Homo-oligomer: A and B are copies of this chain.
Amino acid sequence: MTGTHHGNRYGRSEEARQAVLHAADDLLVERGFAGVTIEGVAARAGVAKQTIYRWWSSKVDILLDTLIDDMAKELTPRDHGDVSRDLRAHLHKVALFLTRADAGAVFRALVGHAQHDPAMAARLRADYLSQQRARDRIPLERAVERGELSSETDIEVALDELLGPVHYRVLVTGEPVPRKFTDHLVDQFLVRYGTGRG
């Protein structure tokens, strides 16, 4: 009746999964968060609504799925052998990620939605942000190992000082986040905490 189907007892259709994720992503970028509807995603993906509801609980759930890959892929810090270069590079990557159209848009939309939905906020933090937080720690932990930072540095607070201003600009003031700004944050941070050996 309907053309080609891909039912399969042992496992879902990867084709349908990809179509849904891409459709949701596209709609978010094109029409914004309110423009992402289950009905719209289904239509655009060429998929039945029921198929979406079978695997995702809400449009937020879909967007989380689109986010997780990107974040790990784009935001894993590399080792440049030097705390300053590590931090400058990582903070810049974070800024680029947050302000870029596609993946950053998903992140902003989800953090925005989290303000309206405590349960989803808890899940976002437990499943996604904590992973990112772990990646963010890496440059600082390496710096402590290298002796570039005191071993008594409060890394949690340090992360807030470095990442806080970047997210604040993105989420609240809407100011751009140029490289100069992130570099400045790193420099100020090292002035205070660095051992002078870095």
Question: Are B161 and A161 within 8 A (Cβ)?
Answer: yes
Rounded to whole angstroms, the CA-CA distance of A37 and B166 in the bound complex is: 33
For A105, the closest partner residue in chain B by CB is B115
- Kindly state whether residue A81 has any CB partner on chain B within 8 Å: no
Distance of A118 from chain B, by nearest CB (Å):
8
- Kindly state whether residue A14 has any CB partner on chain B within 8 Å: no
For A156, the closest partner residue in chain B by CB is B175
Total A residues in contact with B, Cβ cutoff 8 Å = 39
Question: Are B167 and A168 within 8 A (Cβ)?
Answer: yes
A124-155 interface code vs B (CB 8 A; 1 in, 0 out) = 01000100010000000000000000000000
- Kindly state whether residue A100 has any CB partner on chain B within 8 Å: no
Chain A contacts with B in 90-122, Cβ cutoff 8 A: 108-109, 111-118, 121-122
Chain A contacts with B in 28-80, Cβ cutoff 8 A: 32-34
Question: Are A125 and B164 within 8 A (Cβ)?
Answer: no
- Kindly state whether residue A11 has any CB partner on chain B within 8 Å: no
- Kindly state whether residue A184 has any CB partner on chain B within 8 Å: yes
Distance of A102 from chain B, by nearest CB (Å):
15
Question: Are A171 and B32 within 8 A (Cβ)?
Answer: no
A185 in contact with B171 given A108-B115, A116-B32, A116-B112 (CB within 8 Å): no
Question: Which of B34, B117, B175 contacts A32 (CB under 8 A)?
Answer: B117
- Kindly state whether residue A169 has any CB partner on chain B within 8 Å: yes
Question: Are B171 and A116 within 8 A (Cβ)?
Answer: no
| Chain A residues within CB distance 8 Å of chain B | 32-34, 108-109, 111-118, 121-122, 125, 129, 133, 157, 160-161, 163-169, 171-175, 181, 184-185, 188, 191-192
